[in-house]
A and B are shown apart, each in its own frame.
Chain A
């Protein structure tokens, strides 16, 4: 494997870690998951077609690794703790922001796994339907359906939890 490919893979690691953290809600599990996925990817690197997207290929391996080891990586259904939120958030951890993060974390926790997985791919990586279908190995129609239902569920859950006096971010 030449250095170009290694370097391109390295560039994807932060993105893989972010998705793994979101999937597992546990940094140790996430790093184990990424480690396993990278080892699998390196073993099967001859299967990557240079005409395909490296990102899709790596995310597909990560997702398959997650599914195969779901019992090991499966998170407990608890909302992220404030300390975890502060550690992951990209903004100064003001109170309002912390509440928003906790709200969305709790709402994501209420989603069925298959909806959560596709919502996270879309929101975090901005993937198109076809790429998500490739990563998750499901038809595009299934991706659309899961995403649609996931968005609607998120909306309902958040509306219900936040009530009419919805907190809004500072600008």
Chain B
């Protein structure tokens, strides 16, 4: 895609607006310089991106819907059996590991496949500190939410994002919502400020753009991070948001499957006590090299 042309043509503007110059940074930079000097061209590019966002918002919900059984029967040749589900779960697990390693690189540059359940955004916006406490970072789910209908349960685990570089430490965590449709909540505290993260599995492995919604005066930043969707609320400076999201994504995007949560984790209560997270997690759930600050 790289070429030496210095003149910016209409086709370059279209390619830029459609996000097709990501693999050609030199050309993309040239177009960006052109856009900076030509407000009308900049407006065109912004308008195309706005069109894309609205089209994806209009049709995006279809991605998260259950696949009609008749489609699956065509593919699998029969109603799916337990053996079939097991095989696909194994394949799913393999893909998640690949996705976890290369999510940023392999991700959808548009993030257009992202389905963000309104329940996640609303839960993030209206969270008032009432939830059941549970210590584990493992997340019980079914491949349903990740890979299409199936009934066997899988467990996902990711490391607690270390936000100490931003002055935040983990103060509390718990789960919201009914079993089977749960959100994991992580609450961080800093000097005179707090931050809440809400995490739930999603369909897809890509990464994408962060978006912001406002509900009842609460700003909710949300974005896809590998196999999860993350929503973030709290006292965060505008300039920190992107960097925070990057740090959070690095931890969460590396999620991996585990057979089941170690009994010690499931049994070790947190009881909502600040700081109890330090002892509430089975060390086996964290990588051997993980610093304790990850859960401080």
Contact = CB atoms under 8 A, between A and B. Distances in A.
Given A92-B122, A148-B10, A170-B213, A120 B116 contact: no
A128 B65 CA distance: 26
15 contacts: A3-B88, A7-B91, A10-B75, A10-B76, A10-B88, A14-B148, A15-B63, A38-B74, A90-B114, A91-B118, A105-B58, A123-B51, A123-B55, A124-B59, A129-B15
A46 B24 CA distance: 35
Contacts of B72: 10, 13
B158 to A, nearest CB: 22
B214 A171 contact: yes
A7 B94 CA distance: 12
A147 B56 contact: no
Contacts of B51: 104, 119, 123, 151, 154-155, 158
A151 B60 contact: no
The 8 closest A-B pairs by CB, nearest first: A90-B60, A18-B62, A104-B54, A123-B55, A126-B110, A171-B212, A92-B118, A123-B52
SS of B interface (majority): helix
Contacts, number: 152
Given A7-B88, A10-B67, A148-B11, A42 B75 contact: yes
Report the interface size class on chain A: 35 or more
B219 interface: yes
B110 to A, nearest CB: 4
A147 to B, nearest CB: 7
Nearest to A40: B74
Interface string B52-87: 111111111111110110111011100000001001
B123 to A, nearest CB: 12
A14 B67 contact: yes
A161 interface: no
A35 interface: yes
Given A10-B67, A119-B51, A128-B20, 20 more contacts: A10-B148, A14-B65, A17-B71, A18-B60, A34-B71, A42-B74, A80-B58, A85-B58, A88-B60, A88-B61, A88-B62, A89-B61, A90-B116, A91-B57, A92-B121, A92-B215, A119-B55, A126-B19, A144-B11, A155-B47
A16 to B, nearest CB: 9
Given A7-B88, A101-B54, A170-B213, A39 B115 contact: no
Given A144-B14, A151-B14, A171-B213, A129 B20 contact: yes
B257 to A, nearest CB: 16
A90 B62 CA distance: 9
Contacts of B92: 7
A11 interface: yes
B182 interface: no
A134 interface: no
The residue among A18, A87, A170 with the most chain B CB atoms within 10 A of its own CB is A18
Nearest to A151: B48
A170 B212 CA distance: 8
